[in-house]
A and B are shown apart, each in its own frame.
Chain A
Amino acid sequence: MPLNIIFNILQQGLCYAIVALGVYISYKILNFPDLTVDSSFPLGAVVCIGLIQVGVPFIIALIVAFISGTLTGFITGFLHVKFKISPLLSGIITMTALLSINLAVAQGRTLIPYGDKTTLFNNAFTKLFGDNLSLIALANIIILLVIVIVIKVLMDLFFKTKRGYMLRAVGDNEQMGISLGSNSGFYKIFGLCLANGLVALAGAIYSQYMNYFDNTSGTGMVVIALASVIIGTAIFKHVKFVKGTTASIVGALIYTAVLNVIIALGVPTIYLKLVMALSFLVILILNYYFFSRDKKIKKGEKHV
């Protein structure tokens, strides 16, 4: 495989890995299929580029992008917890509303370039690598890898705390959270905030990597993230020492690789979403036949 494709896969895959880490929280931990993702991803991007364009340092812009994502998670969670709206519908409502919000923040523009503003991928560190494209890609990969590992380690630590345990328990068995004297609704909202914060952060980072904001960049992000999480957890299902976070990252890299290889084989890019959906389908079917030990889905167990 040409080196540049591998570099692309790693860069894109590591961006998607951050989305997958977020969706790992909503989908795997909270058992909440959250469609907000498709809009919180571009929201993070547009917030980030908006701030950078008015001169805010990119680190601050990334942090604010994360916060903007937590707000979308809060709305979806609040709709679900307060008004008992199903996870899917709560997500759809927030996701749809955000399409307008994103455009409003972008002042109607659907594509906004960063130009030569200082970003994660265009700064004193990356300049050290000169204009050799492979070296620049390498620098980007190092930056992304550091970010992904830091997020992963923080998440792993969090899941060892009392709050992390409670979040997992509420997602696993809501009644149990209540029995332990905890407001399970609060924990669901909290988890969705974290999840969408990460997704928005990923959107912001991805836009910096592409060096422009694209209003449609979030379309299909739910599929990418779910596929990543499902591939990862299926592969490492019987390997105890591999954590769900690591599995999600690996899953994101694999799924990105699959998509890129298929496109590299000559499938026109207009079919990208079709390829995404079909490969997701194949993954679900493979998961069903090869990775589930007992194929009958028992009562109370999740349907993939």
Chain B
Amino acid sequence: MSNLLSLKGIYKSFNKGTIDEMALFTDFNLDIKEGEFVSIVGSNGSGKTTILNIISGSTPIDGGDVCLKDENINKMKEYLRARRIARVYQDPALGTSPNLTVLENLALADNKGHYYGLSFAFNKKKKAEYQELLKSLNMGLEDKMNTKVKRLSGGQRQALALLMATMQPVDILLLDEHTAALDPKTSEEIMELTNRIIKEKHITTLMVTHNLRYAIEYGNRLLMFNQGSIIIDKSDKEKENINVDDLLKTFNEISIECGN
């Protein structure tokens, strides 16, 4: 099967030309196949967020190629990539518009990739549709259509952000520790919801998570990052054989190597 996304020979340094110069990625390669649900773990600062930024176009690269469906998107602007690459952030404030209502946010997301012109943002029929969608989330959002998003709980906001990110068809979904800011129970609910949406819509997904158990339980491929390299890459059967203890052990080993 051909690759949906491939990162070829990526170079990325920060603070170039200063004493703080740090080469994060040197010749980084990664291929993602259509339909894969990849969970990514790794210590803080190992480059997980940066790689998502590179894919979504919010961080420029120093060398290499980012290809989506065999098309080189190196030069494609972030907002244009966003029409094909959806993203949910750790911070619930980033994925939604806080001073707009739930309904207004949904109406905007529903038009993603289309022209934002002078026609009305939604109609009665659409409103009913959104209500049904919200109901299916089971987060109590269907009664809060006219509530400003900033008044929602963190869990409700992330559920809404997930729904908005996946409302229109996308090539790939990027999740960056999107349950990390939530309490354990809500985190669990959002993770279940994430899994359900990804399964139902067959969305190719990269999910960075701080939770080793989620990384093992969900998805069909697991990557561990360390200092800008992939040190574990297991798919399908191989992935099923990994357990939390193995992962923790590797984690500790690299921590000792790094001297923390």
A134 beta carbon closer than 8 Å to chain B: no
Beyond A162-B121, A165-B100, is A181–B83 a contact (Cβ under 8 Å)? yes
CB within 8 Å of A: which of B83-126? 83, 86-87, 93-100, 104-105, 107-109, 111-113, 115-121
- Cα A173 to Cα B119 in complex, Å, equals 22
Asked if B116 and A166 sit within 8 Å, CB to CB, the answer is yes
Q: Please indicate which of the listed interface residues A158, A162, A181, A182 has the most CB atoms of chain B within 10 Å of its own CB.
A: A181
- Cα A125 to Cα B189 in complex, Å, equals 67
B34 beta carbon closer than 8 Å to chain A: no
- With both chains docked as a complex, state the minimum distance between the C-beta of B11 and any C-beta of chain A, in angstroms: 24
Q: Which residues of A contact B105 (CB under 8 A)?
A: 169
- With both chains docked as a complex, state the minimum distance between the C-beta of A110 and any C-beta of chain B, in angstroms: 41
Q: Which of B21-29, B74-82, B226-234, B241-249 contacts A (4 or more CB under 8 A)?
A: B74-82
Interface string of A202-238 (1 = CB under 8 A from B): 0000000000000000000000000000000000000
- With both chains docked as a complex, state the minimum distance between the C-beta of A65 and any C-beta of chain B, in angstroms: 23
Q: Which residues of A contact B115 (CB under 8 A)?
A: 162
| Nearest A residue (CB) for B146 | A240
- With both chains docked as a complex, state the minimum distance between the C-beta of B110 and any C-beta of chain A, in angstroms: 10
Q: Which residues of B contact A182 (CB under 8 A)?
A: 79, 116
Asked if B118 and A165 sit within 8 Å, CB to CB, the answer is no
A281 beta carbon closer than 8 Å to chain B: no
Q: Which residues of A contact B78 (CB under 8 A)?
A: 178
Interface size on A, residues (CB 8 A): 23
Interface string of A164-208 (1 = CB under 8 A from B): 111011001101111111111000000000000000000000000
Partner of B80, one of A161, A168, A181: A181
Q: Which residues of B contact A173 (CB under 8 A)?
A: 93-94, 96-98
A82 beta carbon closer than 8 Å to chain B: no
- Cα A158 to Cα B104 in complex, Å, equals 14
Q: Which residues of B contact A175 (CB under 8 A)?
A: 94
Partner of A162, one of B82, B87, B117: B117
Asked if B116 and A165 sit within 8 Å, CB to CB, the answer is yes
Asked if A178 and B94 sit within 8 Å, CB to CB, the answer is no
Asked if A161 and B97 sit within 8 Å, CB to CB, the answer is no
- Cα A168 to Cα B113 in complex, Å, equals 18
- With both chains docked as a complex, state the minimum distance between the C-beta of B86 and any C-beta of chain A, in angstroms: 7
- With both chains docked as a complex, state the minimum distance between the C-beta of B115 and any C-beta of chain A, in angstroms: 8
Q: Which residues of A contact B99 (CB under 8 A)?
A: 168, 172
Partner of A166, one of B77, B86, B108, B165: B108
CB within 8 Å of A: which of B195-249? none
- With both chains docked as a complex, state the minimum distance between the C-beta of A154 and any C-beta of chain B, in angstroms: 11
Beyond A181-B83, A182-B79, A184-B79, is A176–B118 a contact (Cβ under 8 Å)? no
Asked if B79 and A161 sit within 8 Å, CB to CB, the answer is no
Partner of A178, one of B82, B111, B121: B82
Asked if A179 and B100 sit within 8 Å, CB to CB, the answer is no
Q: A178-B78, A178-B82 are in contact. List 16 more A-B contacts (CB 8 A).
A: A160-B120, A160-B121, A162-B115, A162-B120, A162-B121, A165-B107, A165-B116, A166-B116, A172-B97, A172-B98, A175-B94, A176-B96, A179-B95, A180-B109, A181-B82, A181-B83
Closest 8 CB pairs of A and B: A181-B83, A162-B116, A166-B116, A169-B97, A172-B97, A178-B79, A165-B121, A181-B82
28 residue pairs A–B, Cβ–Cβ below 8 Å: A161-B118, A161-B119, A161-B120, A161-B121, A162-B107, A162-B111, A162-B115, A163-B118, A165-B104, A165-B116, A166-B108, A168-B97, A169-B97, A172-B98, A172-B100, A173-B93, A175-B94, A176-B97, A179-B86, A179-B95, A179-B165, A180-B108, A180-B109, A180-B111, A180-B112, A182-B79, A182-B116, A183-B77
